[in-house]
Amino acid sequence: MRHPYLKIKIKSLAAEIKMIREAEQLVKQQKNNATQENHRAEHREVQCQLRLHRKGVDGNGGLRWEVRHSNLAYAFLRSVPYRQVEEKYHAGNAPDMDKIHKMVERFGGPRNAGEVEEWLEIAA
């Protein structure tokens, strides 16, 4: 079974990240061209907010976090081993099992929460 809605979500998130990155570059150029310090500060604030939306804080939240968990849910639904998706694992950077489980249920139908946990623990 294919999962077109989850795939579309992943592609939409990638497109949004690209648009935000372009907006960041535009704001950066405007900041560098601004003549008054208060305008530079405003541009700097907008640039920081865009970056926070894209990257999140300490790896949590933001579009980067959403894309990671969407890709993991997609891999789970396609029976791709976790280690094939994320070869490098850093302590303290474990994926959010609840988030993955909710996406799996939303896009792939009802599943046991233990299945996702087992899928992640096999690789540990």
Amino acid 37: pLDDT: 82
pLDDT band at 18 (very low <50, low <70, confident <90, very high): very high
Contact criterion met (CB below 8 Å) for 75 and 82: yes
With a cut of 70, say whether residue 123 has pLDDT above it.
Answer: no
Q: From CA 98, how far away is CA 28, in angstroms rounded?
A: 37
18: Cα separation from own chain's centroid: 12
Q: Region 77-103: what's the mean pLDDT?
A: 87
Q: Tens of pLDDT along 29-87?
A: 888 888 888 888 888 899 999 999 999 887 678 899 999 999 999 999 999 999 899 88
Number of structural domains, the chain? 1
2: Cα separation from own chain's centroid: 21
Domain assignment of residue 105, given as a range:
4-123
With a cut of 90, say whether residue 22 has pLDDT above it.
Answer: yes
42, two tokens: 């405003």
With a cut of 80, say whether residue 5 has pLDDT above it.
Answer: yes
Amino acid 59: pLDDT: 65
Q: From CA 10, how far away is CA 15, in angstroms rounded?
A: 9
Q: Region 92-118: what's the mean pLDDT?
A: 87
Instruction: Report the percentage of the chain scoring pLDDT > 70.
Output: 95
